Amino acid sequence: MGKQVPLPAGVYNLDDLKDFGRRKGWCPYYLARYSILHANIIVYSYHYLLDPKIADLVSKELSKKSVVVFDEAHNIDNVCIDSMSVNITRRTLDRSQANVETLQNTILKIKETDAAKLKEEYRRLVEGLKEANVARETDIYMSNPVLPDEILQEAVPGSIRTAEHFVGFMKRFLEYLKARLRIHHVVQESAPQFLKDIFEKVCIDRKPLRFCAERLRSLLRTLEIADIADFSAITLISNFATLVSTYSKGFTIIIEPFEDRTPTIANPVLHFSCMDPSIAIKPVFERFQSVIITSGTLSPLDIYPRILDFRPVTVASFTMTLARTCLCPLVVGRGNDQVAMTSKFETREDFAVIRNYGNLLLEMSAIVPDGIVAFFTSYTYMENIVASWYEQGILENVQRNKLIFIETPDAAETSMALEKYQEACENGRGAILLSVARGKVSEGIDFVHHFGRAVIMFGVPYVYTQSRILKARLEYLRDQFQIRENDFLTFDAMRHAAQCVGRAIRGKTDYGLMIFADKRYARADKRGKLPRWIQEHLTDGSLNLTIDETVQLSKHFLRQMAHSIHDISNCNVQCFCQLNLSQEDQLGLSLLTLEQLQSEDMLQKIAQIAHQA
C-alpha cells in the first residue's frame, strides 16, 4: 500500500520523512528505503556505500549512471578498513553460543510444526544463489565483497545445506574460536594459515566457511525470526568466517591475550583486520560511472590512488580565493629559553618542554579574543601535561584570562564541555578547549568565527606506533604498494593535523590563527604534506619561531583582521596595510552573487581553472 504513490518533489531530511510518514500512516524507515531508489540526490554517510553488510541492504539497486561524491574523504581509507575488520572477544563468543542454542531450539520446534518450510528453504538454497548471480551479471545489483563473485558460481556445499547440519557446523566453529582465544602470548597469522589450522583441528573445510554468511541469513529468514538484533553476535561470526575464507591477501589475524594498557587483566581479543582499503571500495569503482573523492585536507594527493588502487582520470587541487589573507599559520619551535618544543616520545617528560608549552598557552590566552582550541596528540599525553601545568601554577594564570574546558573520552561530558565553551565565547568571557587530535571534537565540530580564533596543535599527532595492527598494515603497504613506513606515518599525522587546524576557518569572512607547536613542523617533509591553502601562507619567516615572536606576529595579525572587517573610509592609516574590505568589496573578488555566478565570463573562468590542473 502506498507503493504506487510517489513522494512529492522536495528536499527531505530524516525529520521530514518521519513527519510525512506519520501523516500518511507509513513506516518512515521503509519509506526512506523506498525513496532512495526514486530520489535524484541522496545524502548519506559512507557506510551505506562502503560497508558491505549495510550496502547490500540499502544501496544495492542504485543506478549505474549515478555520480558518487565522497566529501571530506581524507579518512576514507580508514573507513574502508574499519568496515571490513572484525574484532571478536570472549563476550561475543558467549553470546554467539547462546544464539546457536536458540537457533537449535527454534529449528526443533519448527520441525515439529511445519517441516515443509525447511524443505522449501533447502530447495531454494540450491536455486536461490543462482538468482543472485543472474541479478549481478545483468548489473541490477551491486556486488558485495563479502559475497564475492566466485561463490555465486557454485552451489551451497552439502555439508551445510540442512538446517541441523549448519547449526552443528557453527557449534564446531565456535568451539575452535574459543580454544584459539585461550592463549597467553600474541599470535599473528595470515588468513590461509588460519584456515589450515582450522582444517587440522576441527576438520572444517574452506568451502563451507565461505557460505556461512549467506546460509545464516537465509536460515534466519526461513525461521522468521523477528528480532534480528539478538543475533548480531552470530552474524558477526559468520561474517568473519566468510571473510577469512574468501580473501587470502590483504587481511591479517592478530590474537592478543590482553590489551596493551592493562597487561594484568586477561581480555583476549581476536583482531581480524583488513589491511587493504581497496577491497571495500572496489565495487563502488566498478559499478558507478563517475566517482569523485574530495576534501579540504586531502594531501598529499598522490598517495590516495596508490592506497585505494585506482587510476584517477583527473586530479585537481584548488586554493582558496580570498580577497585578503584570513589565516596566519605559524610554526613555533622554541620557547623563550631556546629549548626546542616537541611532543617527541623521548622528551615528553622533560620539565622545560612542558613549561614552554604552558607559557605558549598562557601568552596566547592573553592576546587572542574569544575562543582558542588546543589539540594534543593523545588522551594520556594531555592528562600528563595538564597535571604538570596544574602543579606549576600555569593553569591558574590562564584561568584569569579565559575559562578552560577539557574533552574526555566520555561523550556526554564532552558535549557538555562544548556547550559551555560556546556559551563562554558568546558572552565575552572567553574560553579554551583542550581536546585530542583524533577525538570526536576534531572530526566533527566546526569552530567558526569567534568560536575558534586560534587553533594550537601541541605536537605532531602520530598514531600509536607500537600497535601490532598498525605494524602489520605498514608492512603490507610496503610490500604491496612500495610506500615507506615513515612516509605513511607522516602522511597520516599531517592529515590529522591539517584537519584539526582546518576547523577554525569555515568561511571567507572568517579568520584565525593556526599555531603548530612543534619544531618538527618546520621540516620540509612535514611542511610539504600540508594542504596547499595552508602552505602558501606559511612563509619562511614564520618557521621555527620563539614564543615572543609568535605573540608579536599574532597581535599584529589580529589587529589587521579586526581593522579590515569594518568599513573605515574615514581614517588616515599611516601604516601601509592591506585592503580594507567589507562584504561589498569582496563581492566579485571572492564572493559571488547568483547573477555573477551565472554570467558568461564566470562560467568560462571556471572551465579554465578546471582544465588547468
Partner 1 sequence: MDEEPERAKRWEGGYERTWEILKEDESGSLKATVEEILFQAKRKRVFESHGQVRLGMMRHLYVVIDTSRTMEDQDLKPNRLTSTLKLVEYFVEEYFDQNPISQVGIITTKNKRAEKLTDLAGNPKKHIDALKKAKDSTCGGEPSLYNSLSLAMQTLKHMPGHSSREVLIIFSSLTTCDPANIYELVKTLKALKIRVSVIGLSAEVRVCTVLTRETGGSYHVILDESHFRELLMFHVKPPPATSSSECSLIRMGFPQHTIASISDQDAKPSFSQAHLDSTSGGPGLSMGGYFCPQCQAKYTELPVECKVCGLTLVSAPHLARSFHHLFPLEAFQESPLLLHHTERFCEACQGELKDKSVFTCPSCNSVFCVECDLFIHDTLHCCPSCIHSRSAP
Contact footprint for partner 1 (CB under 8 A): 366-370, 400-402, 425-430, 449-450, 453, 541, 552, 555-556, 558-563, 565-566, 568-579
Which residue, 270 or 398, is less far from partner 1 as judged by CB?
398
Alpha-carbon span 171 to 238, nearest angstrom: 11
Alpha-carbon span 223 to 231, nearest angstrom: 13
Report whether 88 contacts 270 (CB < 8 A).
yes
Which residue, 366 or 591, is less far from partner 1 as judged by CB?
366
Respond yes or no on whether the N-terminal peptide bond of residue 369 is cis (omega within 30° of 0).
Answer: no
> How far is the first Cα of the chain from the last one, in angstroms, to the nearest whole number?
52
Which residue, 268 or 430, is less far from partner 1 as judged by CB?
430
The one-character DSSP state at 542 is G
Shortest Å distance, C-beta 591 to partner 1: 18
Which residue, 429 or 523, is less far from partner 1 as judged by CB?
429
Alpha-carbon span 515 to 300, nearest angstrom: 21
φ and ψ at 375, to 5 degrees?
-115, 135
Shortest Å distance, C-beta 445 to partner 1: 17
Which residue, 281 or 425, is less far from partner 1 as judged by CB?
425
Which residue, 105 or 578, is less far from partner 1 as judged by CB?
578
Alpha-carbon span 496 to 490, nearest angstrom: 10
Residue-by-residue DSSP string for 227-256 = -GGGGHHHHHHHHHHHHHHH-SSSEEEEEE
Q: Which helix (H) or strand (E) holds 290?
A: strand 290-293
If you count DSSP H runs as helices and E runs as strands, how many of each does the chain have, helices first? Answer: 28, 12
Shortest Å distance, C-beta 453 to partner 1: 8
Shortest Å distance, C-beta 412 to partner 1: 25
Alpha-carbon span 233 to 561, nearest angstrom: 56
Shortest Å distance, C-beta 533 to partner 1: 19
Alpha-carbon span 456 to 368, nearest angstrom: 12
Shortest Å distance, C-beta 402 to partner 1: 7
119-139 core/surface letters (b: 16 or more CB in 10 A; e: else): eebeeebeeebeeebeebeee
Q: Which helix (H) or strand (E) holds 88?
A: strand 86-89
φ and ψ at 292, to 5 degrees?
-120, 130
Alpha carbon 156 to its chain centroid, in Å, reads 36
Which residue, 98 or 367, is less far from partner 1 as judged by CB?
367
**Of 454, 309, 458, nearest in space to 373 by CA:** 454
Which residues have C-beta within 8 Å of that of residue 565, sequence separation ≥ 6? 509, 581, 582
Alpha-carbon span 221 to 103, nearest angstrom: 12
Shortest Å distance, C-beta 590 to partner 1: 15
Shortest Å distance, C-beta 566 to partner 1: 6
Shortest Å distance, C-beta 365 to partner 1: 9
Q: Which helix (H) or strand (E) holds 215?
A: helix 212-222
Which residue, 329 or 459, is less far from partner 1 as judged by CB?
329
Alpha-carbon span 261 to 118, nearest angstrom: 49
Which residue, 184 or 400, is less far from partner 1 as judged by CB?
400
**Strands 327-331, 290-293: pairing kind:** unpaired
Which residue, 22 or 556, is less far from partner 1 as judged by CB?
556
Which residue, 167 or 368, is less far from partner 1 as judged by CB?
368
Shortest Å distance, C-beta 521 to partner 1: 21
Between the alpha carbon of residue 209 and those of residues 111, 157, 318, the distances in Å are: 25, 10, 48
Shortest Å distance, C-beta 399 to partner 1: 11
Which residue, 264 or 569, is less far from partner 1 as judged by CB?
569
Report whether 52 contacts 83 (CB < 8 A).
yes
Shortest Å distance, C-beta 428 to partner 1: 3
Helix (H, G, I), strand (E, B) or coil at 598: helix
